[in-house]
Structure 1
């Protein structure tokens, strides 16, 4: 086997049990890691069997609100593991209030929802008050648009297929993250963590261009029509009355400065994501 030069060259991926797991595993394997994929159930029910000195990527918190207890159990189990580096995927949801400026890594988290408190609890279980003390890298991601059938991309496409209205927020803004872009960033961080990059820190990642859910929905409709013709009629409706502005746009300069990872537009690769979700939902509903 060709040696990659990574130290370690084994990556333990703790999955979320959704659309993130497969692409993350393949992305890590593609660049030369040997990957051990562990499910939430395996870790929550038994002691961890992670080999000392492994690189760990923890996507457990991305499993959603229904699996909060298991994700916390995973973080508890990871806290004392002798791994070479730990990359924990977190979320912009740790910031709960509307903000007029971009949110950088120095901004104090202040979640206002149950799921936001869950994200923050998981971070604190792993790091206490200091990521450097525990050797943990935290990657807070912008709003994930396509990881599950309840995510925005699937909601819009399902509305198109079923000729039903979709109600979307046209006030709050964020910088979305697709699964493909999440994988790109996480894999690039893993490569560098296994090649001498700093083993701790808090980083943010979201698309280079921000948008509201309504703007995203309109773009999806345009992609569907470009692929399958103008017969697809969309009924996208703004939330009434207009909701409170809960914009959360992440500043991503630290990730660029430390890892050299550049932001991309959420529009890149969107057509392919639309194709995949159309195929998936059409099969499910046929």
Structure 2
């Protein structure tokens, strides 16, 4: 293996149990990291199973609501273990009903949902260490079949109307962009960059679920033909405005990582998810 110069050159990746895991593993390996994929049971062993001084990337909180109890246990198990640096992936969900145009890192977390309180509890379990970085992510649209992209595509393939909120805005994060940002941070952590901090990342442009769905339909029609039947229906009555747009200037200022549009690479993401959904549940021709 070509020596990258990273110190350390090993990343211990704690997975989310969804599409993020393999994408992160491949992204890290592509730039030259050795990757150890770990789970909660391994963290609770008598000794830390990662290579000495490894960087830890904790994606456990990205597993969805059903896995948040496990994610909290992972964070508690990680506290105090002998790693060089830890990057914990968190969520905008730690915030309550902020009316700011953009939420920056100085905004005080005030979750109003059970899942938001779980995300904050995960962060708090790791707080206080001088080698922990927290990356709060915008709305993750394609991490699993139950996320927005999978729900839209599944409904389209089934010929069902897609009901979407056209009121609340966010700055979405695709798996491919999450990997780009996470790998870039890991490279800098292994190259002398700051090993503690609180950062935000979301796409450069915000949108509603309806606007996102419209773009997805355009991509599907580019693949299946303009006569592909698709019905998008606005959610009525409109939900309470749950707009959460993250300001991401600190990530840019500290690490030089720029925001990208969520539209960038969307066609490829749609292709991959269509293939995945069709393999999971074969359907006849439309």
Superposed pair shares fold, TM > 0.5: yes
Deviates more, 1:35-44 or 1:215-224: 35-44
* Cα displacement string for residues 127-167 of structure 1 (whole angstroms, at most 9, x for unaligned residues): 0xx4xx43210000000000101111011111111111121
Q: What is the SS of the residue equivalent to 1:11? A: strand
Q: 2:212 maps to which residue?
A: 216
Q: 1:247 maps to which residue?
A: 243
Matches within 5 A, 1:1-286: 1-43=1-43, 48-127=48-127, 130=128, 133-286=129-282
* Cα displacement string for residues 17-71 of structure 1 (whole angstroms, at most 9, x for unaligned residues): 1000001001101111111011345436776423331100000111111112211
Counterparts of 1:173 and 1:165, CA distance in 2 = 21
Counterparts of 2:165 and 2:58, CA distance in 1 = 30
Report how many aligned residue pairs link the two structures. Answer: 282
Indicate if the aligned counterparts of 1:17 and 1:40 stay in contact, CA closer than 8 A: no
Q: What is the SS of the residue equivalent to 1:134? A: coil
Cα distance, 1:82 vs structure 2 = 1.3
Q: What is the SS of the residue equivalent to 2:280? A: helix
Unaligned runs of 5+ residues in structure 2 are none
Counterparts of 1:21 and 1:141, CA distance in 2 = 16
Q: What is the SS of the residue equivalent to 2:19? A: coil
Unaligned runs of 5+ residues in structure 1 are none
Cα distance, 1:262 vs structure 2 = 0.3
Change (3 A) 1:214 1:270: same
Indicate if the aligned counterparts of 2:130 and 2:195 stay in contact, CA closer than 8 A: no
Change (3 A) 1:37 1:242: same
Q: What is the SS of the residue equivalent to 1:227? A: helix
Counterparts of 1:109 and 1:47, CA distance in 2 = 34
* Cα displacement string for residues 243-263 of structure 1 (whole angstroms, at most 9, x for unaligned residues): 111100000000000000000
Counterparts of 2:71 and 2:45, CA distance in 1 = 12
Question: Given the two structures, how large is their TM-score scaled by the length of structure 1?
Answer: 0.95
Counterparts of 1:32 and 1:274, CA distance in 2 = 28
Indicate if the aligned counterparts of 2:200 and 2:250 stay in contact, CA closer than 8 A: yes
Change (3 A) 1:275 1:97: same
Two-structure CA RMSD over aligned residues (Å): 1.3
Deviates more, 1:245-254 or 1:94-103: 94-103
Indicate if the aligned counterparts of 1:99 and 1:246 stay in contact, CA closer than 8 A: no
